[in-house]
Structure formats: C-alpha cells, structure tokens
Amino acid sequence: MTNLERPKAAIIREKGSNSEREMANAMYLAGFDVKDVHMTDLISGRETLEDIQFIGAVGGFSNSDVLGSAKGWAGAFKYNEKANIALKNFFKREDTLSVGICNGAQLFMELEIINPDHEIHGKLKHNDSRKHESIFTSVKVQENNSVMLKTLAGTTLGVWVSHGEGKFNLPMSEDNYDIVAKYGYEDYPANPNGSDYNTAMLCDKTGRHLVTMPHIERSTFPWNWAYYPKDRKDEVSPWIEAFVNARLWVENKSK
C-alpha cells in the first residue's frame, strides 16, 4: 500500500506531550498515511486539517500540567483563532474520526467535544489516590457503538495506564453516557483513579469520537504487555484492531 492510497491521519501534539511515536506507529500499521501536527502548525495556519480524516490527540503532560492536565492545551485551541477554526471545522465534518488518549482525552473532555449537548459536562479530575498512577491493568470492552472498538465488545484486554488526573467525573446518570470500556473491576488498583461508573473509555453519540485514559497505543504489541497469554502467537495485540477499524471506516466513507 503506497502513501497515495492510504487515508490521511494526523497526530496532534503540544509542548510536553508524549507517545506521539507510538500513536503514529499504530496508525501507520493500520494503513494510514500519518502526519505530525504540532500546535504551532495549527496556531500559525500552516495546518488546517482539511485533508485529514482521523486525528489522534496524544498522551503526556502538555505544559507540564502546570495549569492542570490539558488545561493549557485546551486554551491554545480556545484562544487562538486559526487553531480554533481548524478544530471546529474538523469536528463539523461527518467523514472524520478522532481519538484522544490520556492527555488527549483530558483535552477533548475539557473542550466538551464528547457530549456537546450536555448542560453539565463531564470532566477528568485528580485520581482518588491523589497521586500519579502508572500500572498495567485490564479493561472490559462493553457493547458499544464506537467505530474503533465496536468489534472488540465482550473482550477483556490488558492495557497500560499512566496519569494523575484520570478520574471521569460524570455528573449525570450512567445512561447519559456512551461508556465504551470499564476497568477489569471497580476497586483500586484495577481502577486506578476512582472514575464514576468505573469508566475507562467514552465515545460520543455518533461513535466517531473516542476518549480513553488507558494507553491502547502503548499496548499494541504482545511484548508491550506485562502479561500476555502463552497460547497466543500474535504479532500484534488486539488493540491494533481499533486503528484498523478506523481505517476501514474512513475508506468506506471515501467510496
């Protein structure tokens, strides 16, 4: 598959973010032509996302979390006209997908992208432990309408987490949210943050936009996992299916 045949995806990153190479690699392995987009590209107008169909907001500690996780990153979108317009135009289109992982999830929740119709918005708060948590845990993928994760419904998969503000604070009843995955069990440390409804991943009503605190992009190879079943001889872990599903959806939209 040449780059001309591959649908276009973009990594969105900010100063202090990380895991952009892992995300780019997962996208590339799944069949995307991947572009690196820094916030300065969007703020200056060098990048408009007009030809991009899939964006990934990466993990890490943008602006060193000085203002709180992703608060400064969200401000860069809110208060810079060109970046603001580029992102709003991207989400207005119906042929686009997005995933926000860890810091990227905090960004999208801060920008109120997942449930834009809610009067009271969910946010990501400090972990109940009041400290940074970095562990290998597991999540149970629920029946869901996420473009990326629908085909993995019913599975329990290992995954890495690393965050200080990963608690989904969801002020409405559970039926108001499209919860894609929950932690393996509700208690600490499997749920490392105390999220409402044991939430690990959410999507919007269309299923096109996903936020996940667990780092699926850091868990794409069996050797990434702290434990992997002996009887499986996989070259890649099941998490790569999420990115393949994204590519298949985009290709279908382009027909």
User: pLDDT of 221-235, one tens digit each?
Assistant: 999 999 999 999 999
210 CA to centre of own chain: 6
Question: What is the SS3 assignment for 109?
Answer: helix
With 0-12 / 13-18 / 19 or more C-beta atoms within 10 angstroms meaning exposed / middle / buried, residue 254 is: exposed
Beta bridge partners of 158: 138
- Which sequence spans correspond to the domains of the chain? 8-254
Residue with tokens 């936020």: 211
User: pLDDT of 155-173, one tens digit each?
Assistant: 999 999 999 999 999 999 9
The pLDDT confidence band at residue 254, using thresholds 50, 70 and 90, is confident
Structure letter (DSSP) for residue 175: G
Catalytic center residues: 102, 215, 217
Identify the CATH number of the domain defined by range 8-254. 3.40.50.880
Question: What is the SS3 assignment for 181?
Answer: strand
Cβ atoms within 10 Å of 239's Cβ, excluding its own: 24
Cβ atoms within 10 Å of 189's Cβ, excluding its own: 13
Beta bridge partners of 35: 10
Residue 211 backbone class (left: φ over 0; alpha: ψ -120 to 50; beta: rest): beta
What is this structure's pTM? Answer: 0.96
User: pLDDT of 190-224, one tens digit each?
Assistant: 999 999 999 999 999 999 999 999 999 999 999 99
